[in-house]
């Protein structure tokens, strides 16, 4: 009958008609993955339209020079290893440490450790594993802050879901003792817990984690996951954010690749975050969500301007993580 509905635009919005932003000042997306590809210019067109003018990006080292030429000091880099080559070999680890040097020379101030349950299953690694210690120590000696992806949506541990076998993947709660060990080990170095520390499902848990570890901050990235779970408990998340104003950085987790084509894909994530943090919208989300309700829901938290400014740029500046002169 009709053409297939765009999964990034279920509501048929005009994403070029950008709603007015509630807080003045620049917006830093502190968690994204920009590759140099045929979509890079389209991505920045969408980001600029939404006032997101600075980015911290997990860009492959080989794309760093070209991206710097394109955006100058509006981009900062989050050092990552070459995941495709990942193994427990000495050669992989040596290369990872050399890449940290190169990223640091390119101005990177953060390095990322992806410590989701599959790493435990495939490599037997958690954050306190001896194989990783020289990498962690090297990163600290270079002055890096850390970004840690520690857990995934709680739904992924459900019956028949991908982490159902907890002897292989660990339970969701078992992901956290290694993180807490790490937070103490690197203290007072800043650690960014990606995707609201992996536990937007339980803001009280996050509150206790932040209470115990002064060097922990969280990023708000992963649009579908965060939109879904905020919509299930908007008041709790709002209260959490008001209480922890100085501990959350804005991030999208947008991945810029040829596989994700078009202005609407990139704009939809920034639209959804803006609606969620800045407005009192309650209704359908425009982004299809395979893990959630049908239709997907979005709840706006209508955060005060000073909270938005802290999330968008203030906290990153205070922590010395904003790119360029900040
Ligand atoms: Zn990410």
Distance 2 CA to ligand 1 centre (A): 34
Query: How much distance in Å is there from the Cα of 161 to the middle of ligand 1?
Result: 21
pTM: 0.96
Structure-derived torsion over alpha carbons of residues 150, 225, 287, 265, reported in degrees to the nearest 10: -20
Contacts of 92 (CB under 8 A, 6+ apart): 81, 85, 86
CA of 76 to the centre of ligand 1 (A): 15
Residues 6 or more apart in contact with residue 63 via CB below 8 angstroms: 34, 35, 36
CA 3 to ligand 1 center in whole angstroms: 31
Q: Is 295 left (phi over 0), alpha (psi -120 to 50) or beta?
A: beta
Ligand 1 centroid distance, CA of 186 (Å): 22
Phi, psi of 33 (to 5 degrees): -130, 90
Distance CA(10)–CA(248), nearest Å, equals: 29
Residue 1 pLDDT = 45
Give 253 Cα–ligand 1 centroid separation in angstroms: 5
166 alpha-carbon distance from chain centroid: 25
Q: How far is the CA of 1 from the centre of ligand 1 (A)?
A: 37
Q: How far is the CA of 63 from the centre of ligand 1 (A)?
A: 17
Distance (angstroms) between ligand 1 centre and the Cα of 299 equals 23
Collapsing DSSP states into helix, strand and coil, what is residue 219?
strand
If you measure from the C-alpha of residue 222 to the centroid of ligand 1, how many angstroms do you get, rounded to a whole number? 7
CB 158 within 8 A of CB 164: yes
CA of 194 to the centre of ligand 1 (A): 7
CATH of 27-318, one of 3.20.20.140, 1.10.510.10, 3.30.450.20, 3.40.50.150: 3.20.20.140
What are the boundaries of each domain within the chain?
27-318
User: How confident is the prediction along the chain (326 residues), in pLDDT tens digits per residue?
Assistant: 456 789 999 999 999 999 999 998 899 999 999 999 999 999 999 999 999 999 999 999 999 999 999 999 999 999 999 988 889 999 999 999 999 999 999 999 999 999 999 999 999 999 999 999 999 999 999 999 999 999 999 999 999 999 999 999 999 999 999 999 999 999 999 999 999 999 999 999 999 999 999 999 999 999 999 999 999 999 999 999 999 999 999 999 999 999 999 999 999 999 999 999 999 999 999 999 999 999 999 999 999 999 999 999 999 999 999 998 65
CA of 35 to the centre of ligand 1 (A): 13
Span from the CA of 40 to the centroid of ligand 1 (angstroms): 17
CA dihedral for 240, 18, 290, 38, sign (positive or negative): negative
């Amino acid at each position: 009958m009709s053409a297939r509905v765009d999964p990034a635009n279920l509501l048929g919005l005009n994403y070029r008609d950008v709603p007015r932003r509630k807080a003045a000042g620049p917006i830093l997306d502190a968690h994204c993955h920009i590759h140099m590809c045929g979509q890079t210019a389209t991505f920045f067109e969408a980001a600029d339209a939404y006032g997101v003018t600075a980015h911290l990006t997990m860009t492959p080292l080989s794309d760093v020079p070209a991206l710097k030429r394109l955006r100058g000091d509006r981009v900062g880099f989050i050092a990552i290893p070459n995941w495709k080559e990942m193994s427990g070999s000495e050669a992989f680890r040596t290369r990872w440490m050399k890449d940290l040097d190169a990223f640091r020379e390119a101005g990177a101030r953060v390095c990322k450790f992806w410590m989701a349950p599959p790493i435990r299953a495939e490599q037997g690694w958690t954050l306190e594993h001896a194989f990783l210690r020289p990498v962690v120590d090297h990163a600290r000696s270079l002055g890096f802050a850390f970004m840690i992806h520690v857990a995934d949506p709680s739904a992924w541990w459900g019956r028949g879901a991908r982490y159902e076998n907890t002897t292989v993947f660990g339970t969701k709660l078992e992901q956290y003792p290694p993180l807490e060990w790490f937070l103490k080990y690197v203290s007072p170095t800043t650690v960014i817990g990606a995707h609201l520390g992996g536990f937007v499902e339980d803001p009280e848990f996050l509150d206790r984690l932040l209470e115990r570890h002064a060097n922990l901050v969280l990023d708000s990235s992963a649009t579908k996951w965060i939109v879904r779970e905020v919509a299930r408990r908007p008041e709790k998340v709002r209260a959490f954010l008001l209480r922890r104003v100085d501990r959350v950085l804005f991030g999208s987790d947008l991945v810029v690749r040829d596989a994700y084509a078009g202005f609407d894909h990139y704009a939809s994530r920034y639209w959804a975050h803006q609606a969620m943090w800045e407005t009192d919208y309650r209704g359908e989300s425009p982004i299809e969500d395979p893990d959630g309700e049908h239709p997907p829901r979005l709840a706006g938290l209508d955060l005060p301007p000073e909270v938005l400014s802290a999330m968008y740029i203030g906290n990153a500046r205070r922590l010395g993580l904003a790119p360029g002169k900040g």
